[in-house]
Every structure is written in C-alpha cells, then in structure tokens.
Amino acid sequence: MAAVVLARKEAERQVRQRWLPWVYGAALTLQLLLAIGTDRPSTLWIAGLSAATWAVLLCQQWRTTQRARRYLNGPTLGQAER
C-alpha cells in the first residue's frame, strides 16, 4: 500500500514539472546556435554532442511525463477496471 502512495506522489511530481522541457529546449536551441555559428571543428563537435544530449533528455522527459499521466489516469487501487 505504501508503495502505491509513493508511486502516485512521484507521478504527480513528474507531471508538475512543466518548466523542465522548456529548460531542455532552451539549452538545445543554444547548442544548435553555437554549432551553426562556429567554424572551429572542436567547437562544432562539442556543441553537436551537447545538442544531441539535450535532445535525448528532452525526449526522455516527454516520455516520462506521458507515462506519469497514463499512470495517474488509470484505475486506482480498489476500483474495478472499466
């Protein structure tokens, strides 16, 4: 029973973090602008790898939020599935 309460709290916390994708998106945009605006190969590689990392984090955050919303919209403990 305690695990269900903790899981529900964690899912609610993840859904409340609506600002996090905006931070990831801003960091991704800055890295892409750096990659576009440079002519040094080392800076291009680092900015490209950083942009890829931010893109992966953005996708993971989106998937985690969707999973938490599905969990919260599902049947609660003690209720029959419809």
Q: DSSP string covering the chain, please?
A: -HHHHHHHHHHHHHHH-TTHHHHHHHHHHHHHHHHHT---HHHHHHHHHHHHHHHHHHHHHHHHHHHHHHHHHSPPTT----
Q: What percent of the chain has pLDDT over 90?
A: 78
Confidence of residue 2 (pLDDT cuts 50, 70, 90): confident
Q: Which residues have CB under 8 Å from 33's CB, separation 6+?
A: none
pTM score, two decimals? Answer: 0.80
65 and 14 Cβ atoms separated by less than 8 Å: yes
| Per-residue model confidence as pLDDT tens digits over 19-28 | 999 999 999 9
